[in-house]
Structure 1
Amino acid sequence: MTNPAAFHIGGEDRPGRWLVTCDHATNRVPEEVGGDLGIAPSDMARHIAYDVGARGVARELARLLDSPCIETDFSRLVIDPNRGEDDPTLLMKLYDGTLIPRNRHADATEIERRLTLFHRPYHAALERLAARRGDVVICAVHSFTPQLRNRPRRPWQVGVLSAWDKRVTAPFIAALEASETLRAEVEAMGERLVIGDNEPYDGHLPGDSVDVHALRHGRLNLLIELRSDLIATEAGQARWAALLAPILARTLTETGL
């Protein structure tokens, strides 16, 4: 089944070799799921429902890299597109202290329905874009909340996630740490530049988007996590895309990848 409403593609005809993805682009709950999940709007505005600011960064990053961008159009609470179909966190019933009423009694039939409507169409479209050229580089854009409930504040401004394939991530992390422009930007905020290597999360879940569309095919890849308070506004999204795009481009050029 195809469901174009499950995703949006921008710049499909752009010639660049990058493919920018945003798995958790929106907090929208489609009408097919009832239009809401029974939780407060304040909870739907939190990181539990989507990656705050990630969509704007992904779109602008793709534009600056003259490459396509694909993004979901459903909340991660509807069904998580960055999880494999057999992952126990595919459909969250409790997330960072919030109970998700409409997911609480979802059975295998309902999970299959949501996979068919949203998860699989997004991944089919992503794979089609990834296969358009042999030298594609997948750049997944996510954001992380500055602090989980009852946990310490996270110190990183940027995290770069990877599994065993560090062809892009290792030189990109080194380039971020060496960037005087980036350092000055962070110091102007009164912080010290801290780049996370597989922080704040481990870089690999079997069946996640990078695993399915990059690792299993030997495609170059990286996953960028930006702290969400830095990209909560359109200005912040544009600024961080502008900071990251030239470093990404130079990483490929200087490594000869």
Structure 2
Amino acid sequence: MSASWALLITCEHGGNAVPGDYAPFFADWGEVLASHRGFDLGALATAQALARAVAAPLLAATVSRLLVDLNRSVGHPRLFSGVTKGLPRAARQAILAAHYHPHREAVARLVADGLAGGATVLHIASHSFTPRLGEVTRHCDVGFLYDPGRIAEKTFCARWLRELACLDNDLIVRRNYPYRGVSDGLATALRRRFGERYMGVELEVNQRFALGGEESLTSVSDHLADALVRALGRKTVCL
């Protein structure tokens, strides 16, 4: 692993905001916007804790994933929601131009800058998941998503996981759960674009912590941040 790191924290589903021009389309979607379908509850607070702990830049989006999902590739069937999928093509292209491409391109620029400086880029994307999906209860508190075929990502996540266990061994921590680390997403796209010196990790935190109140979310976020600092254990280069 490189002695020189360039760190980047992102949050693709940090809020449930709907731009004014599109508000009428969401008039009857208030409850859905406030649910896990509208945004990743608690993910932004966790991202902020991570960024503070390692002095890394944070690129966060607060537009609802129901407008456009910044963690899906163009062409993915869930890029647009049931609200926006049926809009005219011109309207969908306008949403991409205003909200989707600026976030993804800003992330890519920082990755490229870090690589150009000779560092290994570690990109951590902060997400969260609903404790129960349909009839399935997710028995997990924190998930680390990565490409198991990439030794550097696998090794780093194992180190972060071990440090987290030292700080809080009551947490149920799983790898590539509740989603697969190689599924369609921003990190997957960046791996293809930038190669082995880019490391992409998606952090998934159970929304039960955010639902449990500020103290609960702050505790798990701080433990994750402290464990990240320990897992790095090397010189850090800010992007």
- Whether these two folds match at TM > 0.5 is yes
User: Equivalents in 2 of 1:33, 1:48: separation in Å?
Assistant: 17
- State whether structure 2 residue 221 is matched by structure 1 residue 241: yes
Amino acid at match of 2:142: V
Check conservation: 2:16, 2:34, Cα contact below 8 A. Answer: yes
Aligned-residue offset at 1:20? 0.5
Aligned residue for 1:205? 183
Partner of 1:146: 131
User: Could you list the per-position Cα deviations for residues 169-223 of structure 1 after superposition, in whole angstroms to 9, with x for gaps in the alignment?
Assistant: 444235425623211xx3xxxxxx32221111111234x2112334421202211
Residue in structure 2 matched with residue 5 of structure 1 by the alignment = none
Aligned residues: 222
Measured in 1, the distance between the counterparts of 2:63 and 2:78 equals 16
- The residue that corresponds to 1:181 in the other structure is 167
- Which residue is 2:58 aligned to? 69
Q: Tell me which amino acid in the other structure corresponds to 1:234.
A: E
Paired position in structure 2 for 1:97:
none
CA distance in 2, matches of 1:245, 1:152: 29
* Stretches of structure 2 lacking an aligned partner (at least 5 in a row): 235-239
**Distance in 2 of aligned mates of 1:214 and 1:235:** 35
Q: Distance in 2 between matches of 1:32 and 1:40?
A: 15
Distance 2:154 2:203 in 1: 9
The 2-side partners of 1:87 and 1:250 are apart by: 37
Show structure 1 runs of 4+ deviating over 6 A: none
Give, in whole Å, the separation in 2 of the partners of 1:35 and 1:54. Answer: 27
Look up the SS of the partner of 1:76 in the other structure: coil
Q: Percent identity?
A: 26
SS at match of 1:85: coil
TM-score, length-normalised on structure 2? Answer: 0.83
Letter in 1 for 2:189: V
Task: Answer yes or no: is the 8 Å Cα contact 2:53–2:229 preserved in 1.
Answer: no
1:157 paired with 2:131, answer no
Structure 2 letter corresponding to 1:60? A
- Tell me, yes or no, if structure 1 residue 226 matches structure 2 residue 178: no
Separation (CA, whole Å) in 1 of partners of 2:127 and 2:23? 26
Deviation track 1:85-139 (CA, whole Å, cap 9, x = no partner) reads 111110121xxxxxxxx33632332221211111011112212222232222100
* Separation in structure 1 between the aligned mates of residue 159 and residue 51 of structure 2, nearest angstrom: 22
Amino acid aligned to 1:127: A
The TM-score with structure 1 as length reference comes to 0.78
**Is this contact kept in 2: 1:172–1:247, CA < 8 A?**
no
User: Separation in 2 of the partners of 1:237 and 1:229?
Assistant: 8
Cα RMSD after superposing both structures: 2.3
| Unaligned 5+ runs, structure 1 | 1-15, 94-101, 187-192
| Whole-angstrom CA distance in 1 between matches of 2:124 and 2:84 | 30
